[in-house]
Structure 1
Amino acid sequence: MALSSNSIIHFTSTVDALKGILQDNFKIKYCAETIFFELEKEIKYAAPMVSFCDIPLSQIKDHIGKYGAYGIGLTKEWAQRQRLNPVMYVQAGSFLAKSIQESYRNIAKVKNVEWDKISSDQRNWLNILRYVKNYEADLSRGGEVVKNYRFSDEREWRYTPSYEECNPMAINPVAYQTEEQKKRINKKLSNLRLEFEPNDIKYIIIERESEISEFVDILKKSKGNKYSYNDVERLMTRIITSEQIKTDL
């Protein structure tokens, strides 16, 4: 059995979020990240991104439980065209983690560094940092903490916009805590989209069978704008439910 899939899947916890993606592509939003390069020391930041997992449907059950029952699967060819990349997993305390940490310190060592005016070398290192994730650490979701969660099992792929598209590339998460702060910061990205075409879609994942007709209507209503009649007919056959994945796969 293959360890990875021919598609990458983005999961969300709400039906409205999936509807928005189907009608208006992926909106780019800042996401708060914590990385442990040493066992007891961490670096925190928030960066604009969209995340996907590279997991076969037969192994996706646990992921649904943590990240939501709604999702969209897109082809690897699409991911490559859009310049997505798998994240680099590092183990806290490793030699590689120490090297990345020291490089980050060199970026940030300038007192009162202005992150929207950094040099090209600083931008390159900051972009590398945006693709780093711990191999294993605590996972916080919905107010619950999963101890020693193995993030590498997600085989995450990530899209992060370039410096020219989105500046600053990363921000202090202290300024990204309240809903008001998040709304104000993400408003700056309101025109950015990670786009896809109907032929790029391999799966549309919804929670239950009773929602299928609603999503077919969404595709039909968008027909003149994005989805042709043939697209709708084809995508109807690619709708699967989280219930099916949990019981049949």
Structure 2
Amino acid sequence: MGNYKITNATSEESSAEYYSSELSANALFNFMGEYQYLEDTINRMAFLPRYYPENIEYLRISKENTPLKEWYIPMTCFCDIPLHQISYHAEGKAQTGYGKFSIALHKKFGINNGIQPVQYLNSNSIPTEELRNAISILLSDNGQIYSDEALISLSNHLFEYMRRIKPLDGSMKKWDKEGKKYVEIKKNFHDEHEWRYIPDFESDELPFLLYRQDDIIAESSSQFYTKSITETKNGLLNFNVSDIRYIFVDSILSREKLISFIKRKQKGKRIPRAEKDILISKILVYDEIKEDW
């Protein structure tokens, strides 16, 4: 699945006027389960996507007469849930939450950088049935490169669409609390208001999608492909201090720790001293803010 490629939006398209949201947040939140992930992201001033497993049993598609149960998509996930409703997404129950640490970017930044809301599919609907048929045809072509311009455009569109869909509800894999293995949980995905940043790999860098069993085993056992994303040309989602709307930490102790880290920060992307003060001013303690939601 490395032969299909979409051209980036033009600068004129990416600078289109932004209309603020009335029913959803005007920020895109990426929640994390551990403090260290927050430090790592700020150190890079970039989000590092990873290949995430997606359960696709609801699509009921096969490759060479073998049912496909999952594929892995390189992405960083965000949500635009309003603050007063965010607690279930962050905390959840029975390991369904994503963590109390978060960096929230301005939604306009996300839109200008191609971050896209996913489309949730009713597995019993006609559009899903038609999509199932189209994907089956695409997979049966064994990645051949089309010569007809119309077919190239249609196959590119279908392939990119495949990476931005999700069922209304179902099961998903999530790292356990120790971060050592995936556990399977069930969720109503529509409640997540998910947006995805999917890196724009060059065709000779990394696969755009993992669905072959050997590739899935390599990724699930050692994160073989995820570890290579830092070596790609456009894999990371870079941001500046001005692009950040909020930073959440779980406690006052974590806030003090993060402030100290930002003040002494020497490695990674350089942040001028004046911008460090602005960055620190964006830090909020999740448990304190939650009291006023």
Taking structure 1 as the reference length, what is the TM-score of the superposition? 0.86
Identical counterparts, % of pairs: 24
Of the three residues 192, 196, 204, the one matched with 1:158 is 196
Of the three residues 144, 168, 186, the one matched with 1:135 is 168
The one-letter amino acid of 2:129's match is: K
Residue 86 of structure 2 is aligned to residue 86 of structure 1: no
Taking structure 2 as the reference length, what is the TM-score of the superposition? 0.74
Distance 1:214 1:94 in 2: 50
Of the three residues 41, 47, 50, the one matched with 1:26 is 47
The one-letter amino acid of 1:158's match is: R
Is the 8 Å Cα contact of residues 21 and 27 (structure 1) preserved in structure 2? yes
Distance 1:159 1:193 in 2: 9
Residues 19-78 of structure 1: per-residue CA shift (max 9 Å, x gap):
11111111121111113136xx86521011111011111111011111111110000111
Residues 93-117 of structure 1: per-residue CA shift (max 9 Å, x gap):
111111111111110113xx24xx6
1:181 deviates by: 4.0
Of the three residues 115, 122, 137, the one matched with 2:155 is 122
Distance 2:202 2:218 in 1: 27
1:14 deviates by: 1.1
Distance 1:79 1:173 in 2: 31
Deviating more after overlay: 221-230 vs 121-130? 221-230
Corresponding residue of 1:185: 225
The one-letter amino acid of 1:213's match is: E
Deviating more after overlay: 218-227 vs 53-62? 218-227
Corresponding residue of 2:285: 241
1:163 deviates by: 4.8
Q: Which runs of 5+ in 1 are unaligned?
A: none
Of the three residues 27, 31, 37, the one matched with 2:59 is 37
Residue 248 of structure 2 is aligned to residue 215 of structure 1: no
The answer to which structure has the higher strand fraction is 1
Is the 8 Å Cα contact of residues 32 and 173 (structure 1) preserved in structure 2? no
Superposed CA RMSD: 2.5
The one-letter amino acid of 1:212's match is: R
Distance 1:29 1:140 in 2: 14
Q: Mapping of 1:33-112 within 5 angstroms?
A: 33-35=54-56, 36-37=58-59, 43-65=69-91, 66-110=97-141
The one-letter amino acid of 1:138's match is: S
